[in-house]
Structure 1
Amino acid sequence: MRILNRCPHCRTRATARSSRDMSLTFREVTFMCNNAECGHTYIVNMEFARTLSPSATPDLSLNLPMSPRVRERLAQQLELPI
């Protein structure tokens, strides 16, 4: 997956150089600014925020929040209180 990120200093596009999983829902991505004069290298943290479409093969050991809209739609489909 290609992620567009801009250097916080010069606003030039930066390229993801590496990444590593810290957990099932958290990843660190190392970016390098494409501007040779700037040369800033930095780490961006990516964290799971919420589910927009439930998985057909969920990992039940994970406690991943659903967006309020998804939760509302599922409740309506299952005729459950919200």
Structure 2
Amino acid sequence: MRVLKILCPECGHNAIVSKSHRIDPKLSTLYCQCRNVECGHTYTLALGFGHTISPSALTNNRLVKYLADHLSPADHQMVLDLLEGRVR
């Protein structure tokens, strides 16, 4: 398992995250402290979502459920029939 390595921007030594504040599901503020006792720098980092490389398998399931929930009863049955191979 990989762990996010935080480095102090002042001295380059390892730092720890003392707490975090979630601003948005894709953005957090991390409160950091340098582990070098001679430095002692405390600071914040912004940690944000960049972009998707490979989509979540859950994304497709939610889309299918959303579409199925908004079909008329007749269209819903037609989709079920298609999935079961009854309609060609």
**TM-score calculated relative to the size of structure 1:** 0.65
Deviation of residue 52 (structure 1)?
A: 1.0
Larger-Rg structure:
2
Aligned length: 60
1:30/1:41 contact within 8 Å kept: yes
Q: Which runs of 4+ in 1 moved over 3 A?
A: none
Unaligned runs of 5+ in 2: 64-88
Identity %, equivalent residues? 33
Alignment root-mean-square deviation, CA: 1.8
Residue 4 of structure 1 aligns with which residue? 5
Deviation of residue 15 (structure 1)?
A: 0.7
Q: Which has the higher helix share?
A: 2
Within 2, Cα distance between the matches of 1:51 and 1:28? 21
2:36 aligns to what SS in structure 1? coil
